[in-house]
Structure 1
Amino acid sequence: MSVRPGVAVVIAGESGARAGTVDAWLDDEPARDVVAEASAVVGRDVAEWWRDPLNLSDPVAAHVEVLVNGVAGYRSLAARGLRPVVVAGHGVGEFAALVAAGALPFDQVVELVHWRAELLALSPRPSCAGMSAVVGPGAGDVVRAVVADLGGTGTLSVASWDGPSQVLLSGTCEELARAREAVLAAGLDMVRLPGRAACHGPLMEPVARHLAPAFADLEWSAPDVPVVPNAAGRPTRDPDQLARCLRDHLTSPVQWEATCRALADAGATTVVEIGPVPVLGLLVRQVRPDLSVQLAAGPGAPLPTDRPEPATAGPAPTGGKT
């Protein structure tokens, strides 16, 4: 079939995990192959594992589901003719984007994401530290002021520049509580993300150190399509740059606002989000309301057409973290 150029594919992180998500793709052979390979690597039927919503409270289950669903959906759509000009993932969704683009072997990344999620136990528990979303117009300016005032020598930091109206903070519970007072005083809202580790900040340094040997063993290739890594916010097909950014992934802020601009600069006029519910598309619209956004939740999803849907920008839910 003929599909117009100018399509970007994006894959959310942990916020995109939902019970039974991958089931929607199981009627499609390329997606089934992905699920079967993941099951062989993990040593269990992953589709069955993810049908119980309680299992997704475990970061291991949630993160591997995001990876597998993203790759399964991408390969299904690619088999139907989708040829993006650029791909990106938010948080753990970046691992799916790298596999989808051909930069890394799927089996290696399944093992890596599984191990990475287990290592989050080395970081402070959600009862001690975590992430919060600052939401409202001018969130970026407010967060810059708050971090400059309260950051100091502590661990409070920006975890993700999601868009003009949403920025995520990472830090200890005490730091987040003080930041919330300052954010509320500035007239914005700040919402704790329940159960989330304090990712994309200095509290992840012990996890990053333990992951270093696993990163060194990855077999990188030049991807078939440019990838926008979270740590840089600029598209590249350079395996060395992608590897450097992935090593910095857990300790650096997600540059999602810059990523949204990069998608358009790379020639995208339509953004296809692979996932069960809209997450990143809403953030894209905050930054580039001129881009058309489509959700692909299963193999029956329509591929982009020549007529973009009307652009409407508005507040978005918290993005695909971790």
Structure 2
Amino acid sequence: MTGDLAAFVRGLPKAELHLHLEGTLEPELKFMLAQRNGVELAEKTVAEVKATYRFHDLTSFLRVYYPAMRVLQQPRDFHDLAFDYLTRAHADGVRHVEMFFDPQAHTGRGVPFHTVISGYRSAIVAARREFGISAELILCFLRDHSAEYAMATLLEALPYKDWIIGVGLDSDERGNPPSKFADVFARARQEGFLLTMHCDIDQTDSIEHIRQAIEDIGVDRIDHGTNIIEDDRLVELAKSSGLALTCCPVSNSFVTNRMKADEITALLDRGLVVTVNSDDPSYFDAYAADNYLALARQADLGVEHLVRLAENSFRASWIPAAKLERYLHDIREYVAAYS
């Protein structure tokens, strides 16, 4: 293959399936929105903002993550956030993205649901029109709140079903297993939403949470989920059912002491539909292509593995079959041009 690996990876057609829109809030945009909305920030420079990004686990990350959202107040704020991300994703070779958003993090501080979703939706339409990227929204429930609050949020979302492809579960996993939200996810499935759930890495009861997500809830894919490698039965179950994992190598290295590159590669080699994603890229300073490159360098992956990850990203997505075949064809053409 000719050409630089980084250039190859950035141009490689790919989908992103594990991306928190609120986690794309770059410091520069944060300052702009704060000024727009009259929000006083403790930090005065980009360097000061980034100095707060000191995470050693999920909890320490969330303590920084949620307070930053207070600058998001108007529809155009949410539009600008999503459009900026979609612009960067397009530059990284992302052709399709399924984006998480956390409405409770906004409605809980008085921002109406419609304000949030209308801003995000307008950015999706604008980005599709401007540079052809395809995007969908996944509504995530905050698992450290009550199941009743999650159900109320689901009901509030029903008038916007055409704008939301699925539901997910994120935030602090400690003491908040998938089973806590079984009724909410059953109702979501009944309403026609696809299902995914975070099973964060190295959590207490990780394997039991993964088992609940697969066997009790019946999710369509799992976010993170790398600990599944500790249970051969669950690995084989995921493999036989085609259940995908949306892994995030760089963010792993922030909230644990390593990237989990060996585990991700082992699961890929065992035939699971493993994908690579950026999670909260503004906080971890790594967008989609950066995660592919970081994993490739850490695990010494060649082009064959990288292409398989890109193919998996589309196979794991919730796009129609005809669109899937078109993207896979685009990957084959792209690789052939580099051979």
Query: Is the TM-score greater than 0.5?
Result: no
Give the TM-score normalised by structure 2.
0.27
TM-score by length of 1: 0.28
Greater share of helix:
2
